[in-house]
Amino acid sequence: MLSNTITDAINAQINAELWSAYLYLSMGMQFEAAGHPGIANWFKVQYKEEQAHAEIFMNYLNSRGARVVLRPIDAVPTEWACPKCAFTDTLAHEQKVTAMINNLYALAEAEHDYATRGMLDWFVREQVEEEETAKSMIDRLRLIGDNGYGLYMLDQELAARTFAVPAPLAAKA
């Protein structure tokens, strides 16, 4: 059985993951409207990933006999000056999520909740990948600079990104 402290913290993380999904959907919609379908696709795939992260946490609470409590999602930004600006915000946001996951991990350790700590191992690795991917996009956009053809080529490449069901959800299927 999970403690109330762990349950409340995971419910807060669920809300944060859903907020993240909403943020990336907002980014995707802006870049779709701006004529960057590939960049929009990248963010829409990210939106699906964040929803999946929330689902993993919800499944975990349910599996441990704890109650999922969905709370209102705060408003998200709706405009970014450029693709690089959006990816810079993405990196900053993912760094914040990493800190939240680390805090959950520390809480699980402090409570000697090894099952929760084990579940969080996947998220710790996932956050390394999330930050690395955002940083890579910023680096690529920095190299492209004002080169419209370079941005066009990147946009074409990002259009091919697809959503892959995360391992913790695939195992439940």
Read off the pLDDT of each residue in 154-169 and give the average, rounded to a whole number: 93
58: left (phi over 0), alpha (psi -120 to 50) or beta: alpha
Q: Determine the pLDDT at residue 173.
A: 61
CA distances 26 to 75, 80, 93, Å, are 10, 10, 14
* Structure token digits, residue 104: 């959950």
Q: Rounded to whole angstroms, how far apart are CA atoms 59 and 50?
A: 14
Q: Determine the pLDDT at residue 25.
A: 98
Q: Is the pLDDT of residue 76 over 90?
A: yes
Q: Is the pLDDT of residue 169 over 90?
A: no
Q: State the Cα angle at 159 between 18 and 79, rounded to 5°.
A: 50
Tell me the residue range of the domain where 13 lies: 4-170
Kindly report, residue by residue over 92-141, the tens digit of the pLDDT.
999 999 999 999 999 999 999 999 999 999 999 999 999 999 999 999 99
* Structure token digits, residue 102: 């680390």
Closest to 94 (Cα-Cα) out of 121, 139, 133: 133
Total domains present in the chain: 1
